[in-house]
Amino acid sequence: MKKSIFFLFSFIFTLDLMSATVGVLSDEKIPVYKNIVTNFISEIKGTDTKVKMINFVRTDNKSDKAAMTKNIKSSGVDYIFTVGLPASEAAGESNVPGVFTMVVDPVKADLISKDGMPRGNLTGVLVNVSPKAQFMRLKSIMGERTKAGVIYQPAISAFIVTEYTKTSTDYGFQICEVPVSCKEEVAPEVEKLKGRVDFILSVVDNVVYNAQCVEFILRFSISNKIPLIGFSPNQTKAGALISFYCDYPKLGNQSAKLLARAMSSSSDIAMIPVELPDDVNYAINLNIAKLFRIDIPDSVLSQASETYGS
C-alpha cells in the first residue's frame, strides 16, 4: 500500500513538472539579453514545459519594477526566468520561484547572501567566471608568479573572493585579499601591493572597477610590471594581460538546466546555491605579454577568443 502511494505521488509530481509554465522576463532591447533568452528557450525546447513571455515595462523611459512584479503575479506562471537587474528585482518581489542571470551585483540587490545562497525565491547563474577555469589557464602562463592580489568590496564580492581563496592552493597560487569600502580607498590600497603580489586578479565589482579606478589600476599595472587579469575584452585591449569572461548567450542554456534541476528537486529553490558560468572565453594582449616577458603557450593562445597586438 505504501509503495502504491509513493508511485502515485511520483506520478502526480511528474505530471506537475510536465505541465509547468515558465515565465520569461527580459529587456529585449538589449541584444545580448535577447540572445540569452533565445538560448534559454532553445534549451528547454523538446520538453513539455511551456514558456510564457512577460512584458518588460517602462514608465517615463525607466524600468517599472512594480508594474513588472504585478505582471508576473497575474501571469499564472509556475516559475520565472529573468535577465538583468530590473527584471530580477521584479521577480524577487513576486515570490514566484525561478532563476536569474546577468545581475552584476546580486548581493547588493538582495537576491543572494554573501555565501552565494538565495535570499528569497530566486537562484541564479552569475557573471563571474569560476576561479577554477581561470587558475587552470593561469598556471601555464604565470610561471613563478604565484601571489595574486584581489581588490574588492566585501558587501559585493565576498562570495567570489572566498571561491578564489578556496581554489587557489589547488593550483599553487596564493590570494592576498584587499578589501575596500569605497572607490576612494582603491588607489591607496593598490599602491600598497608593490612588492607584495605578482599579479592582480580582478572581480566584477562596481566599486573597485569603475572607469576611474580601472584607469588607475591599469597604469599601476604597466608602470610596476604587475600584470592585471581582467574580466572583459575591453580591459585586455586597454592593457590587461588576459581577461576571462563568460560566454553570455550560453548563460541562457545554463540557466535552463539550473531551472530544470530546481523544478525536479524536492528542495526549496532557496536551498539551491547560485552557479558560476560553465563556458569561459578569454582575450590576450600580446604586447603586454612581451612587455612583462611572459610567454603565452600555444595551447592557451590557440583557444583565445580574441588577441590584441602581435
**Pairing, β 280-285 against β 242-246:** antiparallel
Measure the CA–CA gap between 253 and 274, rounded to whole angstroms: 15
Sheet holding 50-53, edge to edge: 50-53, 21-26, 79-83, 98-101, 122-125
> Do 62 and 89 contact (CB within 8 A), yes or no?
no
Residue 240 has a pLDDT of 98
C-alpha cell belonging to residue 253: 542554456
Q: φ, ψ for residue 276 (rounded to 5)?
A: -95, 155
Per residue of the chain (310 residues), give pLDDT as tens: 444 444 444 434 333 444 799 999 999 999 999 999 999 999 998 788 999 999 999 998 899 999 999 999 999 999 999 999 999 999 999 999 999 999 988 988 999 988 889 999 999 999 999 999 999 999 999 999 999 999 999 988 888 999 999 999 999 999 999 999 999 999 999 999 999 999 999 999 989 999 999 999 999 999 999 999 999 999 999 999 999 999 999 999 999 999 999 988 877 888 999 999 988 999 999 999 999 999 999 999 999 999 999 8
Report in angstroms the alpha-carbon separations of 258 from 147, 224, 272, 287.
34, 43, 9, 40
Residues of the chain with CATH 3.40.50.2300: 2-127+248-271, 131-246+280-308
State the cell numbers at 290: 612581451
129 and 246 in contact (C-beta within 8 Å)?
A: yes
In sequence order, what are the residues at sequence separation of 6 or more whose Cβ sits closer than 8 angstroms to the Cβ of residue 33? Answer: 26, 27, 83, 84, 102
This prediction has a pTM of 0.84
End-to-end distance of the chain based on CA atoms, in angstroms? 73
CATH superfamily of 2-127+248-271: Response regulator (3.40.50.2300)
Give me the CATH topology for the region 131-246+280-308: Rossmann fold (3.40.50)
- Decide: 274 and 111 in contact? Cβ < 8 Å: no
DSSP 177: E
Q: How far, rounded to the nearest angstrom, does the alpha carbon of residue 41 sit from its chain's CA centroid?
A: 20
Rounded to an integer, what distance in angstroms lies between the CA atom of residue 278 and that of residue 258?
12
CA distances from 259 to 24, 105, 272 (A): 12, 20, 10
- Return the DSSP state at 29: T
pLDDT number for residue 11 = 38
Are the CB atoms for 190 and 162 separated by under 8 Å? no
pLDDT at 198: 98
CA angle at residue 295 from 282 to 218, to 5 degrees?
60
Residue 144 to residue 226: CA distance in whole angstroms: 13
Q: Would you tell me how many other CB atoms lie within 10 Å of the CB of residue 75?
A: 18
**Cell of residue 97, nine digits:** 520561484
Phi first, then psi: what are they for 224, rounded to 5°? -105, 5
| Spatial separation of the C-alpha atoms in residues 259 and 31, rounded to whole Å | 23
Question: Exposed, middle or buried: residue 230 (CB in 10 Å: 0-12, 13-18, 19+)?
Answer: buried
